[in-house]
Amino acid sequence: MDIKVDAAVNINNRTYDVEKIRSDFPILKTKVHGKQLVYLDNAATTQKPLYVIDKTNNYYNKYNANIHRGVHALSQEATEEFESARIIVKNFINALGKNEIIFTRGTTESINLVASSYGRKNIKEGDEIIISTMEHHSNIVPWQMLCAEKKAKLKVIPINDQGEIIFEEYEKLISEKTKFVSVVYASNSLGTVNPVRKIINLAHSYNIPVMLDAAQAVNHIKIDVQELDCDFLAFSGHKLYGPTGIGILYGKVNYLDGMPPYQGGGDMISKVTFEETTYNELPHKFEAGTPDIAGAIGLGAAIEYVQNIGLENIAHYENQLLNYATNAVSDLQGLRIIGTAKEKISVLSFHLENVHPHDVGTFLDFEGIAIRTGHHCTQPLMKRFNIPATSRASFGLYNTKEEVDVLVRGLTKILEVFG
């Protein structure tokens, strides 16, 4: 099969010029062990374009000040930039209002916030919470902790051998006892894109709120929270070509309003006396303390960068790359792809017969290739496939067909050594 990957494709009258995109990312010129870096670990974190780096630096260089407090010029400028970033995020996921956008440290903190605040208030003994087999530890452990505290039960939707949720099993699990559903939009280990709309619709027919972990979906799939009708959604800046340490919790205002604060401190209050404190309005109620101001501004810049290229164009290009890579590695003897769902983001997890992923990782590193090896923080999922770990190549908007070729050559070499 001949699969084409056009380095300069024309979609929706916009040209996808991968060479031009690559020149936006200074790190891609790096040499590793004397070889040109081939960065295929985008599901762990993405590289940052100069546009994001500059915007972040600009804050520190020109208007570093605390927000929401000072009347001086720098503080006002910082506040303005920080709040514009919130509006960029709001528009990006089409939230109804900017009060539904809460800045957090990342997806993990966003999920913990909901489990801790919404969960503690609403989950009672005997209640059930549904997640899926392919969750990242960050969408397992907070719910486990909540269940242990409240004597509630965690129910897990099984998956098939392709790595897809078995919807009929979800239908069987859900009941009057179910009080919350939290599932991953796209799997970091398998690449599977889950049928989230169907999952949400079924839950809503029981009046159960649904949270989506969109950490891996947000840079591949155009998300419209109103259209999806999800109740909560979490993602991180650093998987979207933005900085680490910043993330988003989206929540429907009627849920957020009824939730107690997650942390107490500055900025989240409107009036404090030693007898009583009145909490600030949304979203500030959930943003105690000085946030990662530069991070939020950087995230806003990253969204602008991605939108300028167009998420549909990126998705189209990455799908071509994934197909090309899938096809290329399937010729290798003893290679088994883990995760063969019909709908996938550009993640290629695989297992080489008789070669441990860590050995694969070390060998590829010497070819300049960065991939992730290990359990990808999804140990229950590894158990489901009866493997301790996988090797995972994940593609971003700047990867090329030639880089896939370098990966395949590296894997061929490994098979020769270990064969």
Instruction: List the one residue out of 304, 280, 137 whose CA is nearest residue 215.
Output: 137
Stretch binding other proteins (CB under 8 A), from 81-89, 98-106, 210-218, 354-362: 354-362
Cα–Cα distance for residue pair 172/307, rounded to 1 Å: 40
Residues 6+ apart with CB under 8 A from 47: 25, 27, 28, 39, 241, 396, 398
Per CB under 8 A, the list member of 357, 368, 396, 410 interacting with other proteins is 357
Instruction: List the one residue out of 210, 132, 127, 211 whose CA is nearest residue 176.
Output: 127
Active-site pick, 32, 328, 377, 382:
377
Cα–Cα distance for residue pair 233/216, rounded to 1 Å: 12
Residue 409 touching other proteins (CB under 8 A): no
377: annotated active-site residue = yes
Minimal distance in Å, beta carbon 410 to other proteins? 12
Per CB under 8 A, the list member of 363, 401, 405, 408 interacting with other proteins is 363
Stretch binding other proteins (CB under 8 A), from 113-121, 139-147, 215-223, 360-368: 360-368
Ramachandran assignment for 350, one of left (phi > 0), alpha (psi -120 to 50 degrees), beta (any other) = beta
Stretch binding other proteins (CB under 8 A), from 80-88, 92-100, 208-216, 356-364: 356-364
Residue 65 touching other proteins (CB under 8 A): no
At residue 418, the 3 state secondary structure works out as helix
- Compute the C-alpha angle 406/410/415, nearest 5°: 150
CB-nearer residue toward other proteins: 69 or 358: 358
Per-residue burial over 314-345, b = 16 or more CB atoms within 10 Å of its CB, e = otherwise = bbebbbbbbbbbbebbeebeebbbbbbbeebb
Residue 366 touching other proteins (CB under 8 A): yes
Per-residue burial over 65-81, b = 16 or more CB atoms within 10 Å of its CB, e = otherwise = bbbbeeeeeebebbbeb
* Sheet with 153-157: strands ordered across: 101-104, 247-251, 232-236, 210-213, 178-184, 128-132, 153-157
Residue 417 touching other proteins (CB under 8 A): yes
Tokens of 329: 């590695």
CB-nearer residue toward other proteins: 300 or 374: 374
Minimal distance in Å, beta carbon 299 to other proteins? 29
Stretch binding other proteins (CB under 8 A), from 137-145, 228-236, 247-255, 349-357: 349-357
Residue 356 touching other proteins (CB under 8 A): yes
User: What is the CB neighbour count within 10 angstroms for residue 207?
Assistant: 9
Residue 201 touching other proteins (CB under 8 A): no
Phi and psi (nearest 5°) for 34?
80, 0
CB-nearer residue toward other proteins: 167 or 363: 363
Residue 355 touching other proteins (CB under 8 A): yes
Q: Report whether 133 contacts 379 (CB < 8 A).
A: no
Count residues binding other proteins (CB under 8 A): 20
CB-nearer residue toward other proteins: 132 or 373: 373
User: What is the CB neighbour count within 10 angstroms for residue 277?
Assistant: 14
Stretch binding other proteins (CB under 8 A), from 146-154, 209-217, 328-336, 352-360: 352-360
Which residues, numbered 28-47, are part of the site for other proteins (CB under 8 A)?
33
Minimal distance in Å, beta carbon 360 to other proteins? 9
C-alpha torsion sign, points 311, 314, 320, 324: negative
Which residues, numbered 372-391, are part of the site for other proteins (CB under 8 A)?
373-375, 379, 382, 388-389
CB-nearer residue toward other proteins: 78 or 355: 355
Query: How does strand 38-39 pair with strand 369-370?
Result: parallel
Minimal distance in Å, beta carbon 317 to other proteins? 32
CB-nearer residue toward other proteins: 2 or 416: 416
The residues assigned a catalytic role are 377
The footprint of other proteins (CB under 8 A) covers: 33, 354-359, 362-363, 366, 373-375, 379, 382, 388-389, 413, 417-418
